[in-house]
A and B are shown apart, each in its own frame.
Chain A
Amino acid sequence: MKAIKGILLTCDSAVKQILLTMNEKESFIIEDLDDFHLVIKADEEYRVRRELETELEKNTYSLEG
């Protein structure tokens, strides 16, 4: 038995796929649990959220942009 410290992310499957792609560049996922859950390294959360935000913004059409 072992216990691994980390952060459990709950997300939809689209976001999960983006996270998996991001993981290929720089690994931060500890365990891929199921379609909606991932465990990642505790100190990476802030960076992951920020990068995900930028990634999601790319897919948004903006009037001003």
Chain B
Amino acid sequence: MSSTKAAKGRDAKTPAEHVPHPLLPFLQSQSQNTLTRLYQRPSACLSIFRLLGPLERQLVMNLLWLESAIPSLTMAAWVTPEGKILYDSSLLVLSRLHIVTNLLNPATKQSPKLNLNTTFKTSFRQAITGGGTSGSFGVPAAKDDKHPSSGVEALDAFAVERWETILHYMVSSGTGQVLAKPSAGVLYLLQRSRLMATSHGSALQITSAGFQFLLHSPHDQLWQLLLQYLHMAEERQMDLVEVLSFLFMLSTMDLGRVRNCNVEYSAESLSDTQKAMLEDLRDYGLIWQRKASSRRFSPTRLSTTLTSSLPPLPTSASTGTGTQDQGFIVLETNYRLYAYTDNPLQTAVLNLFAALKYRFQNLVVGAVTRDSVRKALANGITADQIISYLAAHAHPQMRKNNPLIPVTVQDQIRLWELERNRLKSEEGYLYTAFASQADYEYVLNYAKQLGVVVWESPAKRCFFGSLEGHANIRGFIERRTGGGGGG
């Protein structure tokens, strides 16, 4: 879904096709108590607001500066008939997040009234207008002349290195190459999210979910891992509110230098849970620290873009990921593929489904072949994922084409997928040699009621039943013949 979203471009996103952020369902599943505690932090309110859809944001803004609740009829009067469904669903999202409260007063039989959650309202107003001393946006560390903090480039390089180490480790786990290993915490996270798995005590191997993961956009990958981290946080008895608010705090922090002043944040004001998180997040490349015991930290671009639409990895050409945002793949109708990249990770990902032939300084040439696609399919990657990856990373030159990906190639990749499913099999029992037509129909009827008939042929007087139905059918026949013999 994410890649089709990227293919359409950010501007083309209308509210109707807005895909809810993956974190929102997780937040919706939390209790009102948890959420209200979270809303005490202005930074959390601002971050969640940024994750909402356009219409939801508009509703929040409309309600934000009202002192009292307004009748929902007044609000609904602004909505055109076509927008009704959209409006209702947005309102539902907001009330599930306990941001909007729908006050219903059955005694007076008045129409329900809409209001913002008071905690959310107070904190969000504070986030917008400033003020308050909660330190929820992080506490800047005092200037340290002895150790000048690192600039944006160093932070970016660190984030990219950490992040690509993780992805590169995943992509090459099957090839037997020896690579820098991510830390044990990261490996555990990958294993828990079932992106990698061990089989029979061997080394970690990438799973089919992992292969699919590699084709997602960095923003989605990051959140997929963080969501898993949140689930684990619950098991580790970490306070979810602390964990979430720390992530949100990071997402609103400043990156690197601001107005010629190095920005570092103090770790002193963090809670114990959050201090424990520093180490984990350092491993993911979200946070930079001069050394592990350092009392200050700097967020990297990965964390400051968590809740924004900016690309999470730097776009400077020097790091090799510069082409990430614009796309770098040219695919021709003759299945040839030219990828303008010098990034080993992107090359490795392409190698998942394309046969690479030549490699130059800034260009990789290959072809989408039957064998290469079959290899990808065998790994659990679907044809649609390959196509959407190609579309999401298409070179600007390709964008002139309509359709973006040559139809011949698209269709052929889908055909190759279908080709793999020429044979379907189902284990079970063949019931045959019935004494009479009546006998056959009687047993068949019973099997049909159980819903276990896979194939039947009245002409041949036999049918095939699935494995799970056998015990019942055998019992049924035995009861009948046994009863018949006795009577």
A residues contacting B by CB (< 8 A) are 1-12, 15, 30-31, 33-34, 37, 39, 42, 45, 49, 52, 56, 60, 62-64
Chain B residues near A4: list those with CB within 8 A. 429-430, 432
Chain A residues near B367: list those with CB within 8 A. 63
Q: Is the CB of B423 within 8 A of A2?
A: no
Q: Is the CB of B369 within 8 A of A63?
A: yes
Chain B residues near A7: list those with CB within 8 A. 425-428
Chain B residues near A8: list those with CB within 8 A. 425-428, 430, 454-455, 464
Q: Is the CB of B426 within 8 A of A3?
A: no
Q: Is B439 an interface residue (CB 8 A)?
A: yes
Q: Is the CB of B371 within 8 A of A64?
A: yes
Q: Is the CB of B431 within 8 A of A1?
A: yes
Q: Is the CB of B370 within 8 A of A52?
A: no
Given A3-B470, A33-B460, A62-B370, the answer on whether A11 and B430 have CB atoms closer than 8 Å is: no
State in angstroms the CA–CA spacing of A10 and B474 once bound together.
Answer: 25
Q: Is the CB of A1 within 8 A of B424?
A: no
Least Cβ–Cβ distance between A4 and chain B, in angstroms: 5
State in angstroms the CA–CA spacing of A60 and B370 once bound together.
Answer: 9
Instruction: Give me 19 other A-B pairs in contact (C-beta within 8 A), A2-B432, A10-B425 excluded.
Output: A1-B431, A1-B435, A1-B439, A2-B431, A2-B433, A3-B431, A4-B432, A5-B428, A8-B426, A8-B455, A9-B425, A10-B424, A12-B422, A15-B422, A31-B432, A34-B457, A49-B423, A62-B369, A64-B355
Q: Is B443 an interface residue (CB 8 A)?
A: yes
Give the secondary structure class of A's interface: strand
Which residues of B from 441 to 466 have beta carbons under 8 Å from A? 443, 454-455, 457, 460, 462, 464
Least Cβ–Cβ distance between B457 and chain A, in angstroms: 7
State in angstroms the CA–CA spacing of A42 and B455 once bound together.
Answer: 17
State in angstroms the CA–CA spacing of A19 and B239 once bound together.
Answer: 60
Which residues of B from 389 to 434 have beta carbons under 8 Å from A? 422-434
State in angstroms the CA–CA spacing of A4 and B427 once bound together.
Answer: 11
Chain A residues near B460: list those with CB within 8 A. 33
Q: Is the CB of A64 within 8 A of B431?
A: no
Chain A residues near B457: list those with CB within 8 A. 33-34
State in angstroms the CA–CA spacing of A49 and B473 once bound together.
Answer: 29
State in angstroms the CA–CA spacing of A28 and B465 once bound together.
Answer: 20
Q: How many residues of B contact A (CB 8 A)?
A: 31
Chain B residues near A5: list those with CB within 8 A. 428-429
Chain A residues near B370: list those with CB within 8 A. 60, 62
Given A8-B455, A15-B422, the answer on whether A39 and B371 have CB atoms closer than 8 Å is: no
Give the secondary structure class of B's interface: strand
Chain A residues near B429: list those with CB within 8 A. 3-6
Least Cβ–Cβ distance between A40 and chain B, in angstroms: 8
Q: Is the CB of A3 within 8 A of B369?
A: no
Q: Is the CB of B455 within 8 A of A33?
A: yes
**Closest A residue by C-beta to B424:** A10
Chain B residues near A6: list those with CB within 8 A. 427-430
State in angstroms the CA–CA spacing of A64 and B454 once bound together.
Answer: 41
Q: Is the CB of A3 within 8 A of B430?
A: yes
Chain A residues near B310: list those with CB within 8 A. none
Chain A residues near B443: list those with CB within 8 A. 1
B429, B430, B431, B455, most chain A CB atoms within 10 A: B430
Chain A residues near B433: list those with CB within 8 A. 1-2
Q: Is B477 an interface residue (CB 8 A)?
A: yes
Chain A residues near B432: list those with CB within 8 A. 1-4, 31
4 A-B pairs with the lowest CB-CB distances in the bound complex, closest first: A10-B424, A3-B429, A4-B430, A8-B426
Q: Is the CB of B455 within 8 A of A15?
A: no
Chain B residues near A15: list those with CB within 8 A. 422-423
State in angstroms the CA–CA spacing of A7 and B464 once bound together.
Answer: 9
Least Cβ–Cβ distance between A36 and chain B, in angstroms: 9
Given A9-B425, A15-B423, the answer on whether A30 and B371 have CB atoms closer than 8 Å is: no
Least Cβ–Cβ distance between B452 and chain A, in angstroms: 12
Least Cβ–Cβ distance between B355 and chain A, in angstroms: 8
Chain B residues near A1: list those with CB within 8 A. 431-435, 439, 443, 477
29 A-B pairs, CB-CB below 8 angstroms?
A: A1-B434, A1-B439, A1-B443, A1-B477, A3-B430, A3-B431, A3-B474, A4-B429, A6-B427, A6-B429, A7-B425, A7-B426, A7-B428, A8-B428, A8-B455, A10-B425, A15-B423, A31-B462, A33-B460, A33-B462, A33-B464, A34-B457, A37-B455, A45-B425, A49-B423, A56-B422, A62-B370, A62-B371, A64-B369
